Amino acid sequence: MIPRFTSKLRSEQVAAKLGLWLGVSFTVAFATGLFSHFLQHPPAWLLWPSRPVNLYRVTQGLHVIGGIATVPLLLAKLWAVYPKLWQWPPLRSPGHALERGFVLLLVGGALFQLVTGLLNIAYIYPWPFGFLQAHYWTAYIVYGALIIHVANEWAKIRKGAWSRVEGAERRRFLRTVAAACGLTALVTVGETLTPLERLAVLAPRDPRIGPQGVPVNRSAAAAGVTGGPADYRLLVTGAVRTPLSLGYADLLRLPQHTVRLPIACVEGWSVTCEWTGVRLRDLLALAGTGPDVLVTLESLERVGYYRSSEVRRPHWNDPLTLLALKINGRTLDADHGYPVRLIAPNRPGVQQTKWVREVRVS
Ligand SMILES: Nc1nc2c(c(=O)[nH]1)N[C@H]1C(S)=C(S)[C@@H](COP(=O)(O)O)O[C@H]1N2
Ligand SMILES: [Mo]
User: What phi, psi does 261 have (nearest 5°)?
Assistant: -145, 150
| Exposed / middle / buried, residue 285 (Cβ in 10 Å: 0-12, 13-18, 19+) | exposed
pLDDT tens digits, residue range 309-341? 999 999 999 999 999 999 999 999 999 999 999
> Are the beta carbons of 307 and 10 closer than 8 angstroms?
no
Residues 6+ away with beta carbon under 8 Å from 104? none
pLDDT of residue 204: 87
Residues 6+ away with beta carbon under 8 Å from 291? 313
228: confidence class by pLDDT, cuts 50, 70, 90: low
**148 within domain boundaries:** yes
CA distances to 45, 319, 349 from 344, rounded to whole Å, are 20, 9, 9
Residue 2 reports pLDDT greater than 80? no
pLDDT of residue 4: 82
| Final residue belonging to a domain, choices 149, 175, 199 | 199
Task: Give the number of whichever ligand sits closest to the CA of residue 216.
Answer: 1
pLDDT tens digits, residue range 88-113? 999 999 999 999 999 999 999 999 99
CB 346 less than 6 A from any atom of ligand 1: no
CB 184 less than 6 A from any atom of ligand 1: no
| Final residue belonging to a domain, choices 199, 226, 258 | 199
Asked whether residue 56 falls in the same domain as residue 168, the answer is yes
CB 214 less than 6 A from any atom of ligand 1: yes
Asked whether residue 178 falls in the same domain as residue 256, the answer is no
In the reported structure, the alpha carbon of residue 266 is separated from the centroid of ligand 2 by a whole-number distance in angstroms of 5
The neighbouring-strand residues paired with 296 are 310, 360
Residue 207 reports pLDDT greater than 90? no
The neighbouring-strand residues paired with 259 are 275
Asked whether residue 66 falls in the same domain as residue 154, the answer is yes
| Final residue belonging to a domain, choices 151, 172, 199 | 199
**281 within domain boundaries:** yes
Residue 125 reports pLDDT greater than 70? yes
pLDDT mean over 216-241:
91
pLDDT of residue 182: 98
**169 within domain boundaries:** yes
- Find the domain containing 48 and state its range: 12-199
How far from the centroid of its chain's Cα atoms is residue 33's Cα? Answer: 7
pLDDT tens digits, residue range 267-293? 999 999 999 999 999 999 999 999 999
pLDDT of residue 192: 94
**Which ligand 1 atom is the nearest neighbour of the CA of 219?**
19
pLDDT tens digits, residue range 30-50? 999 999 999 999 999 999 999
pLDDT mean over 123-150:
96
230: confidence class by pLDDT, cuts 50, 70, 90: confident
pLDDT of residue 28: 98
Q: In total, how many domains does the chain have?
A: 2
Asked whether residue 74 falls in the same domain as residue 29, the answer is yes
CB 332 less than 6 A from any atom of ligand 1: no
State the Rg of the chain over Cα.
25
In the predicted model, what is the mean pLDDT of the chain?
96
Separation between Cα atoms, residue 290 and residue 80, nearest integer Å? 61
> Are the beta carbons of 64 and 122 closer than 8 angstroms?
no
**Which ligand 1 atom is the nearest neighbour of the CA of 308?**
1
Q: What percent of the chain has pLDDT over 90?
A: 93
**Which ligand 1 atom is the nearest neighbour of the CA of 348?**
14
Separation between Cα atoms, residue 140 and residue 109, nearest integer Å? 10
Please state whether beta strands 330-331 and 295-299 pair in parallel, antiparallel, or not at all (unpaired). Answer: unpaired
What is the residue-wise DSSP string for 9-56?
A: T--HHHHHHHHHHHHHHHHHHHHHHHHHHHHHS--TT------STTHH
pLDDT of residue 36: 98
Judged by phi (left if over 0) then psi (alpha if -120 to 50, else beta), residue 281 lies in alpha
Whole-model pTM: value is: 0.96
Asked whether residue 320 falls in the same domain as residue 357, the answer is yes
pLDDT tens digits, residue range 176-198? 999 999 999 999 999 999 999 99
How far from the centroid of its chain's Cα atoms is residue 150's Cα? Answer: 27
**183 within domain boundaries:** yes
**127 within domain boundaries:** yes
The neighbouring-strand residues paired with 171 are none
Asked whether residue 65 falls in the same domain as residue 159, the answer is yes
Mean pLDDT lowest among 145-159, 213-227, 233-247: 213-227
pLDDT of residue 325: 98
Q: Could you list the beta-strand ranges (E) of 37-175.
A: none
